[in-house]
Amino acid sequence: MKTLVTVLMMVVLAACSTQKESKETTNGYVIVLLGAPGSGKGTQAVDLSTKLAVPHISTGDLFRYHKSNGTPLGKKASEYFDKGLLVPDSLVMEVVAARVAEPDAQGGYILDGFPRTLEQAKELEKTVIGNKKLLVVNLDVPDADIVKRLAGRGRADDTPEVVEKRLQVYHSQTAPLIDFYRKKGVLIEIDGSQPKEKVFVDIVGALNSQGIRSKS
Ligand code: AMP
């Protein structure tokens, strides 16, 4: 009887420590997906979110939500959003701060479309991530492929003029983040021009080697 109790206790303790380990390896991370509009960030972020069981936070989706609900923030953001321009950092930080404060984001999350400027990147580390570990995945896709992909996407904010503007904005304001994060040693570079299934396998493999294990 005594032996049985001891064995049971050992099984319970082992189960607890495995659970704790998986929490520590997946939940303490903020994963940023970086890449041009149309690089596949959104698709990969959705799949990663399912695999790692952490929420996917897309600032573009948050602005679209505010716009379609006619909130004051949505109205202010639309002035920029509709022209393919970046929404001012103060409004962006407002939506991000509100979203990461929600209960489901407390164990970590995937950021898609944020940060997009050096200012936002600095704010992210200063006021948003707390003591979570930051990892940045850059999806590298040549411009020619991006233009083709965006032309086929058919989203309301994907008219040719807006697409061109968004690409210009990406190169001038967001692409410098690649170097910023490379210098910090947190950048994972992925060939985003491959088929999306292969891109996903590469991302998961790279995250695994950083200690981030999937839950499924
Ligand atoms: P997305 O769906 O990520 O391509 O974002 C759509 C639009 O939302 C962008 O063209 C910007 O106008 C705005 N937006 C989304 N995220 C940000 C951000 N981090 N900073 C500034 N503007 C943003």
Ligand 1 pocket residue status of 87, Cβ below 6 Å: yes
The response to whether residue 86 sits with its C-beta less than 6 Å from ligand 1 reads yes
Give the contacts of 147 (CB within 8 A, at least 6 positions apart). Answer: 163, 167
pLDDT at residue 163, rounded to an integer: 84
7 C-alpha to center of ligand 1: Å? 55
pLDDT-flagged residues of the chain (< 70) = 1-27, 215-216
Both structure tokens of 35: 């890449």
Q: How far is the CA of 81 from the centre of ligand 1 (A)?
A: 7
Question: Angle at CA 146, nearest 5°, toward 193 and 203?
Answer: 35
Q: Which of 150, 43, 55, 60 is nearest to 110 (CA)?
A: 55
Indicate whether residue 63 lines ligand 1 (CB < 6 A). Answer: yes
Determine whether the shortest distance from the Cβ of 170 to ligand 1 is under 6 A. Answer: no
Q: Which of 43, 67, 81, 96 to mutate to test the pocket of ligand 1 (most atoms within 8 A of CB)?
A: 81
User: What pLDDT does 151 receive?
Assistant: 80
As annotated, the active-site residues are 41, 116, 153, 155, 166
**Ligand 1 atom with the shortest distance to the CA of 96:** 19
Domains and CATH numbers, the chain: 27-208 (3.40.50.300)
pTM (2 d.p.): 0.86
pLDDT at 7: 61
Name which residue sits closest to atom 19 of ligand 1, judged by CA. 114
Ligand 1 atom at minimum distance from 115 CA:
19
**Cis peptide upstream of residue 115 (ω within 30 degrees of 0):** yes
